[in-house]
Amino acid sequence: DGFKQMNVEPCLFTMFSKEVVCLLLVHVDNIMVGCNNRPWFEKLMKRWETRDQFQADYVSDRSILGLNIRRLDRFTFAFSQKFYIEKIVEEYELQDSKPSPIPIRNGIENKFDPDNMSKNVDKSIPFRRIVMELYWVGRGSHVHILYACNFFARFMNCYSKELFEE
SS3 156: coil
Give the rounded percent of residues in the chain with a pLDDT score beyond 90: 34
User: What pLDDT was estimated at residue 50?
Assistant: 53
Contact (Cβ atoms closer than 8 angstroms) between residue 24 and residue 31 = yes
d(CA 72, CA 52): 34
Element (H, E) at 30: strand 30-35
| 40-54, 63-77, 91-105, 106-120: range with lowest mean pLDDT | 40-54
